[in-house]
A and B are shown apart, each in its own frame.
Chain A
């Protein structure tokens, strides 16, 4: 990739930033405040509250990014401009994932400091011990998991879920911006083919789980080694190994959705 290409992508990212900042009553302030609030509460009271940062950020970042675009229907503008659709998808994926990762890393470090210094112990004294859920969970694990291990497990889990969620959100937006409109009542939305597919998949999963529970299908037995592997990975190296696995899964999911978005958006009638 040459420098011109990099500049083109950076310009697109800048355009999105400008669009995001414009307009009245945009969500940006609310998302930033929400992130800072949960991050701050997490730092002061319990690192577990810090889990809301990747989860909340992933839930609100994409709507925040496209709120003005949807409001003023400026998504059609890109069809008129000499912009490669693939570049547009790439720039938005890069921007979303980069901001998400940066935010998650900063707050992860902050929560780590909180876990180490335990400022909530200074505020509550000995009573804090009864409220320290991470410590309680570590105790329940019979010494097989450290506090850091438990925190890592939960944080990496939230991070992976969040990144999968963001890429899914982006794919959905590129596919049908109107269906994505969060201001539209759910009841008024038309069910798409994909909605039926998801419903069918959910139904199949529920049936498989039920058959597993009532022991018709050997679901429980098949899940055991997978669960054992996850538990084993969680116990090792303070949960970083399981963290690496979860991040790998998130990367695979994001790459898949990115490719799907490029293919789908390329064929879309704007």
Chain B
């Protein structure tokens, strides 16, 4: 019995010893297995956040339509999530076969292709791209300075946004790349290298450069040199997706949705075809985009002959102020999170996507959704994986605090032609955002409430153009300081008010006539004609905006011509009316009321003429 008790006690002690020794080691093993994300959280936490949001998405209380999320580290896929439905009405769930549009992530294929040609010695990043393009390819260049591939990568070749339609709704209307680019060539409004303004056209040109150098269709080149080596069988690049029959069919299962006042609005299939397709037509599965992103963090650089080329790809080519913090690395955007990340995001009329990775930890994230704006996953997933920039990273806390006064215009807009008024309606002030901390080297930091917890910061640069004007640098775009912004806005406002006042003046005239109190006077008919002209001019201005929204993001030439000629006629009528009033003043010297009437009419005609001329509302030619 004693022996039995001893054996039992020994076994118990041994078991307990084994338990206490082994349990911590098991936990230790579990702890070492936990993969920490740059945000400081682990993968399980990340997955939980993604799942929790999905659980709140019910049929009656919809938060999003669908989202697919992939997280990886090097070659290892850490997590994939497929949430919601790609077609709510037909209850088609998002899954590994769902295809989403990459949007501007497609541009990274151009930059990778360019670097492939660079390492083969076929493309020089600092040579004028006109040397590779057919002669006379550009028709609207304003400067003789060379436009290099680096300019295209940094989006600082000087082009404004195009005013011509940028997508087609019918497959058979899609022009070949070269012709499509020539049809939408925008005006070059800045000297190359000076102003950064994100340009889809510029990226399209870069794609065409690849086509011209290789003598191969750009789409075929990408398939052969990127998709096939990586085994990306479920991605199409052609604007009509005709280069991949599987994607072509799968795309028909994906609708797009927009949340408006809490309601999920079905936008339909949104099959818009972008002829300048290198800028944003790729469409494919989550798995394929993740494969592509994994290749970009792979030190063996499977897309390049020499891994050094990939290293070069991720070296900065544009920087904040005079600092060494990169904004852009050969076309890839750099973001300051808890770590520095590289990647690109994209948006089309049907959805959004984001590809972002940290080259040090080799952790990457891919998110794709079928909503053209908004969506929780697009807004938060990257911060959950990569954290946010700590205000203490670049600031010692003793940095000088300053307010950035004045109004800033987004460089990515239309500064020539009929849509010149648009940037003036979207200008903004940085003053109310709070105090900026001035760091060294024309670098600013703005602290703000974190999306997650606590406080975070954003970095902005400042640069001075050769003409002495300044701009704030944001990723992908300069915000140009305009000292005379208020004057220009006031001019535009007066133009609108004069159109409104013309309506009242016409109503008063009608009323007077009805009551038999109308007495004609010298120049009365021309004055009335000018009032009608002011109203027509304003309606023509609204017409340009309507044309942009109705005709695939731009104004077709014929419609532009009609609106432009209308504005010219309005200028002529207002001009004649102003001259008639001026001539009439001397013959009514003793009639104060009449003189006032003529003077007001002259002012009321000259101001719209100045506005129409300054904002180039008549200019239907060019882009």
Residue among B422, B432, B508, B546 making CB contact with A218, cutoff 8 Å: B546
Stretch at the interface among B66-74, B236-244, B368-376, B510-518: B510-518
A263 with B542: in contact, given A229-B425, A256-B507 (CB under 8 Å)?
no
Contact B497 A144 (CB under 8 A): no
A233 interface residue per 8 A CB criterion:
yes
Residues of B500-514 contacting chain A, CB below 8 A: 500-501, 504, 507-508, 511-512
Report the minimal beta-carbon distance from A252 to chain B, rounded to whole angstroms.
5
Q: How far is it, in angstroms, between the C-alpha of A245 and the C-alpha of B492 when the chains are bound?
A: 12
Q: How far is it, in angstroms, between the C-alpha of A220 and the C-alpha of B517 when the chains are bound?
A: 40
Note all chain A residues with C-beta closer than 8 A to B493. 229, 233, 241, 245
A226 interface residue per 8 A CB criterion:
yes
Contact B504 A263 (CB under 8 A): no
Residue of B nearest to A229 (CB): B425
Residue among B421, B490, B545 making CB contact with A221, cutoff 8 Å: B545
Report the minimal beta-carbon distance from B493 to chain A, rounded to whole angstroms.
6
Report the minimal beta-carbon distance from B518 to chain A, rounded to whole angstroms.
10
Q: How far is it, in angstroms, between the C-alpha of A236 and the C-alpha of B427 when the chains are bound?
A: 10
Contact A259 B511 (CB under 8 A): yes
Q: How far is it, in angstroms, between the C-alpha of A23 and the C-alpha of B427 when the chains are bound?
A: 57
Residue among B422, B428, B550 making CB contact with A235, cutoff 8 Å: B428
Count contacts between A and B, CB distance < 8 Å. Answer: 79
Residues of A203-251 contacting chain B, CB below 8 A: 218, 220-222, 224-226, 228-229, 232-233, 235-237, 241, 245, 248-249
Report the minimal beta-carbon distance from B349 to chain A, rounded to whole angstroms.
15
A232 with B426: in contact, given A145-B432, A224-B545, A267-B515 (CB under 8 Å)?
yes
Q: How far is it, in angstroms, between the C-alpha of A267 and the C-alpha of B517 when the chains are bound?
A: 11
B486 interface residue per 8 A CB criterion:
yes
Q: How far is it, in angstroms, between the C-alpha of A143 and the C-alpha of B446 when the chains are bound?
A: 13
Report the minimal beta-carbon distance from A227 to chain B, rounded to whole angstroms.
9
Note all chain A residues with C-beta closer than 8 A to B517. 263
Contact B546 A253 (CB under 8 A): no
Contact A225 B541 (CB under 8 A): yes
Contact A225 B545 (CB under 8 A): yes
Contact A253 B504 (CB under 8 A): yes
Contact B434 A236 (CB under 8 A): no
Q: How far is it, in angstroms, between the C-alpha of A253 and the C-alpha of B504 when the chains are bound?
A: 8
Residue among A145, A222, A235, A263 making CB contact with B545, cutoff 8 Å: A222
**Closest 9 pairs between A and B when the two form their complex, measured CB to CB:** A221-B549, A228-B425, A143-B432, A143-B433, A218-B546, A221-B546, A263-B515, A222-B542, A225-B545
Q: List 11 A-B contacts (CB under 8 A).
A: A218-B546, A222-B543, A224-B549, A225-B425, A245-B493, A252-B501, A253-B504, A256-B504, A256-B508, A259-B511, A263-B512
Q: A229-B425, A266-B515 are in contact. List 4 more A-B contacts (CB 8 A).
A: A142-B433, A145-B432, A221-B545, A253-B504
